Structure 1
């Protein structure tokens, strides 16, 4: 471990979450502080068609302390996970099924002590101060829900020096249809905005429905994560979501024009994932 690694007692430092999470999120080192508005859950942004805070699913009528998948109207909608753990995290097939949660049961709050810290080459990063067992829910990636045109506009306004927090999640449904969700925590977001990319990540992102069709982007531990270990996920969604035979070889030359990757893993692709669809020309509203 380097001399930068703090002791677990550093949780007494400034709370990045502003008291909005059930556990404080410490900052290390003190002094410089990231500037953004903290929100523990998604908020409606420009171009969003559905308000993520509007309840559109009715609650279940379960009378037990813990809902049963066979009887609960919420859990019947799709595959779920057990006690905040993903089922069979080694199986890629499981992640292709939609996940729904109870409105009251899943209030996606922090279960582990996390810390925002300065990395050597990647700016801000996020690490855990606790041991996180494989399969456990770690945090959400929350921010402004954007429409497609707004997401493209923001992406195309960025310079090579700007950090890109915008994530595009595409879910394939029946008859070749695709549901797209764009989340931007640049100005309004939660602790997930500090997660860096890794070509060998220790987190897996899974879209989970709670109270509407707007998915919540939940991040689960893909393996046992040790205290003071940096948390990361694959920005491209390749990790555990495509067949292993594709791997990092799927990245074509046109995708290697982005920013350099500093994850330092053996399978590092050298460049951060690049979504060319967000760089397509913007529609001119005056021509419609």
Structure 2
């Protein structure tokens, strides 16, 4: 479901409208105490939508369901849980989220084809927002997202959702950006056991959800995990990497890694191969590398 988000009136105060247009479990308010800027136009969607060139429909049901005739599935009998050993514990926290080298394992939740109940503990991301969040304006980083209540380590916070587009379309959109434009396109590359790489490109620039307002941090408090529910198209779910206090800004590492301390490239390669100035990072983390992550491969995605 999608809806056009209303435009914020002149701010400097708490704004009453819901960024999510009623499409989420909880409303997300807006606060701007910095200037009179309005939120950028956004067609809000509570789930990924198929964009230009993408042959996969993220809303199509393509995964089989389990045969568990119980209120909550058990590891020994549930085919969904057997795809990922013990994804969530009894407190709905993601278990063992990172493997060696900083890569996360995919999660398969029970879906609409499953015979288990709605209370099954293997249904987390599909339930949507569980914490009160707020979009706010900061003086250094522009719009951001914070939590209005405490969040425990491992709990699901929100998705990074939007248009699922093809690699040629991702390349075209990236090359058409001007130097001052924000790049919201994220490329997810999953390495399969047979050696193949499964690529997914999601762009929430014009059609997206609350995840669009998350800022980067070199020392983030969220980490991203591909979660599959009814489709092989992953939902990019963000979980708490630590206990997060009420009022704290929510951030993740734009490079896709958690606490990525690798030295970042200090120059950016443009669509014609030219080198420009890097975008400085303003995360304020003690582990800040100085520059925002930059994926130059998006410039090299060719039309097919």
- Equivalent residues, number: 271
Structure 2: tracts of 5 or more residues without a match: 1-11, 113-122, 269-275
Is residue 133–residue 148 contact of structure 2 (8 Å, CA) maintained in 1?
Answer: yes
More helix per residue: 1 or 2? Answer: 1
Q: Report the Cα offset of residue 76 of structure 1.
A: 1.9
The 3-state SS of whatever aligns with 1:174 is coil
Is 1:99 equivalent to 2:107 in the alignment?
yes
CA–CA separation in structure 2 for the residues paired with 1:228 and 1:97? 30
Is residue 103–residue 257 contact of structure 2 (8 Å, CA) maintained in 1?
Answer: no
Counterpart for residue 280 of structure 1: 300
CA–CA separation in structure 1 for the residues paired with 2:24 and 2:301? 39
Counterpart for residue 27 of structure 2: 24
CA–CA separation in structure 2 for the residues paired with 1:88 and 1:189? 29
CA–CA separation in structure 2 for the residues paired with 1:216 and 1:149? 21
Is residue 98–residue 104 contact of structure 2 (8 Å, CA) maintained in 1?
Answer: no
Counterpart for residue 167 of structure 1: 186
Structure 1: tracts of 5 or more residues without a match: none
Is 1:54 equivalent to 2:60 in the alignment?
yes
- Among 139, 144, 148, the alignment partner of 1:120 is 139
Is residue 160–residue 259 contact of structure 1 (8 Å, CA) maintained in 2?
Answer: no
Matches within 5 A, 1:226-265: 226-239=245-258, 247-249=261-263, 251-254=264-267, 257-265=277-285
Q: Report the Cα offset of residue 271 of structure 1.
A: 1.3
TM-score, length-scaled by structure 1: 0.86
Is 1:81 equivalent to 2:88 in the alignment?
yes
Q: Which runs of 4+ in 1 moved over 6 A?
A: none
CA–CA separation in structure 1 for the residues paired with 2:277 and 2:81? 43
CA–CA separation in structure 2 for the residues paired with 1:183 and 1:108? 20
CA–CA separation in structure 2 for the residues paired with 1:20 and 1:136? 21
TM-score, length-scaled by structure 2: 0.82
CA–CA separation in structure 2 for the residues paired with 1:193 and 1:281? 23
Q: Report the Cα offset of residue 92 of structure 1.
A: 4.5
CA–CA separation in structure 1 for the residues paired with 2:190 and 2:258? 15
Q: Report the Cα offset of residue 264 of structure 1.
A: 1.1
CA–CA separation in structure 1 for the residues paired with 2:101 and 2:78? 23
Is residue 26–residue 130 contact of structure 2 (8 Å, CA) maintained in 1?
Answer: yes
CA–CA separation in structure 2 for the residues paired with 1:44 and 1:67? 31
